[in-house]
Amino acid sequence: MKTEPKPKILRELEEIAGSNYILHDPDELLAYECDGLTHHRSLPDFVVFPETTHQVSRLVELARRYRMPFTARGSGTGLSGGATAARGGMIIETSRMKRILEVDAEARAAVVQPGVINMEISRRVADAGFFYAPDPSSQIACTIGGNIAENSGGPHCLKYGTTVNHVLALSVVLGDGEVMELGGAAADPPGYDLCGIFVGSEGTFGIATEIRLRLVRTSPATRTLLAAYAHVQQATETVSDIVAAGIVPVALEMMDQAIIKAVEDSHYRAGYPRDAGAVLLIELDGLDAGLKVREEQIRALCQANGCAEIRVARDPAERAALWAGRKGAFGACGRLSPNMYLSDTVVPRNRLPEVLSRVYEISKSHNIRVANVFHAGDGNLHPILLYDEKDPHETRRMLAACADIIEACLAVGGTLSGEHGIGLDKRDYMDRQFSEEDLRAMTKVKRAFDPEGLCNPDKVLPRRAGCGEAGRWDPKRLPEGAWV
């Protein structure tokens, strides 16, 4: 690891960020070897913790001089390998950029730094009568920068839309260190919607250093219902019926028996009916007068599908309890097996019942246990595949099951990812969904933002469509004079 030019580059890094804010010792770097997707690992050469946009810009400039790949990282909760330094180089970590810079109630907007934790924003603006709508289950840990990069979703995105629908403008640092504004505070900025396409680009276009977000006014009234069923199929049919009836709840989430048990056995215990085959968590918001009517309609649809029990949260505490189980579901699964793989695909909502049946068949045929908790109203499946990474056979079976699930979703017009992104994980599936030409069009946009290809390389696009695959960054193989 100790290569010749490292001391010089290190001195330069220190000069920019301060010596306390750089890691380069392999032992310390280990924590940054992967994100939430642990089966893709690659050690960075440096991790740097800048505090200002200016520092980020200088770091990127330096990376360019050394032809060193760089990758932004928020909290590292990503689930597609996005924040992993695939070719080594520098990780730019945003945890020191965590200020909420401005809240403008009239414009219904907030300006934040990328390291701000998602949940902090809603907390901060609650008193003014607002919230920040996209609410990934990881919202107590993940950063807005990571949310921007992945176009993250959450239960409440069914009605309010995902991250991209809530980003008005971005300050970004691009591959040459230049800082620019994409989008704008005022509506409909002229030109291509670069802000829109930057969101969801998985950190491969540049680093967002300031983000202007749309705030949503808290609804006057909310209703949260829990509907329990004996069978999964009854629950998925209810979801399809609700969508077909033209009702748009704020959230429409499903949990199957494996999840219910895991939650009830954990400290996320929510009082879900333990013996249910599946539960739906249905939330409505809006005006009280309207909710009464909608609630009746939904009750009728639940009952028509043989619902065994319906509970309604009577107060905010009960509502929070119902949600605590859902939000803790992934954590609760930790008890079920040493490792788990959280899959993420989307299917048209009218195909949900048949695809979910396929998921159970597939897991059975590969002898891999599966638990399902997902954004049913969006058609966004999240089968959690349980396995032990120390058992190579089981790991192989898990990956095979995963591949079959993807194929089953694609077969009904589904997509590879609804919120976790492609990253390193699914890029080799990209040509299952897109033609060579489709991928070339995406490559053009990547090239326009990042002509040198140093910004979070090897992510999103499949190996072939990119501009050739270089190996790991090697400071010794730098062109002559690169760091003068």
Residue 249: strand, helix, or coil:
coil
Which listed range, 39-47, 53-61, 114-122, 425-433, lies at the site for other proteins (CB under 8 A)? 425-433
* Nearest Cα to Cα of residue 459 among 83, 62, 75, 118: 83
SS3 for 329?
Answer: helix
Q: How many residues bind ligand FAD (CB under 6 A)?
A: 36
Which range of residues in 15-23, 59-67, 154-162, 261-269 is near other proteins by CB under 8 A? 154-162
* Closest distance of CB 168 from ligand FAD, Å: 16
145 is a contact residue toward ligand FAD (CB under 6 A):
yes
The Cα–Cα gap between 128 and 119 comes to 16
Q: Extract long-range pairs of 38-43: CB within 8 Å, 24+ residues apart.
A: 38/339, 38/389, 39/341, 39/389, 39/395, 40/81, 40/84, 40/86, 40/423, 40/424, 40/425, 41/84, 42/84, 42/85, 42/86, 42/87, 42/88, 42/472, 43/85, 43/88
Query: Which partner in other proteins, ligand FAD, none is near 71 (CB below 5 to 8 A by kind)?
Result: ligand FAD
Residue count, binding to other proteins (CB under 8 A) = 90
Q: How far is the CB of 352 from ligand FAD (least distance, A)?
A: 18
Q: Per CB under 6 A, does 330 bind ligand FAD?
A: yes
Contact 115, 146 (CB under 8 A): no
143 binds, among ligand FAD, other proteins, none (CB under 5 to 8 A by kind): ligand FAD
- Which does residue 398 bind out of other proteins, ligand FAD, none, counting CB within 5 to 8 angstroms by kind? none
Q: Map the footprint of other proteins across residues 196-215, applying CB under 8 A.
A: 196-197, 199-201
Give the residue with the Cβ less far from ligand FAD, 145 or 414.
145
Site string for ligand FAD, 86-125 (x = CB under 6 A): --------x-------------------x-----------
* Candidate residues 23, 24, 35, 212; the one interacting with ligand FAD per rule CB under 6 A: 35
- Applying CB under 6 A, among 44, 50, 69, 76 the residue interacting with ligand FAD is 76
- Report the 10 Å Cβ neighbour count for 102: 12
Scan residues 271-330 and list those touching other proteins (CB under 8 A): 286-290, 292-294
Distance CA 94, CA 114 (A): 6
Helices (H), 311-382: 316-327, 329-333, 352-365
The answer to whether residue 73 forms part of the interface with ligand FAD (CB under 6 A) is: yes
CB 374 within 8 A of CB 381: yes
Going residue by residue from 370 to 409, which x/- string records binding to ligand FAD, judged by CB under 6 A? ----------------------------------------
DSSP-derived pairing of the beta strands 70-73 and 90-93: parallel
36 binding ligand FAD? (CB under 6 A): yes
CB count within 10 Å of CB 120 equals 17
Contacts with other proteins in 52-91 (CB under 8 A)?
Answer: none
Query: Does residue number 448 form part of the binding site for other proteins (CB under 8 A)?
Result: yes
**Is 51 one of the binding residues for ligand FAD (CB under 6 A)?**
no
Distances (CA, A) of 112 to 168, 177, 216, 349: 12, 20, 16, 34
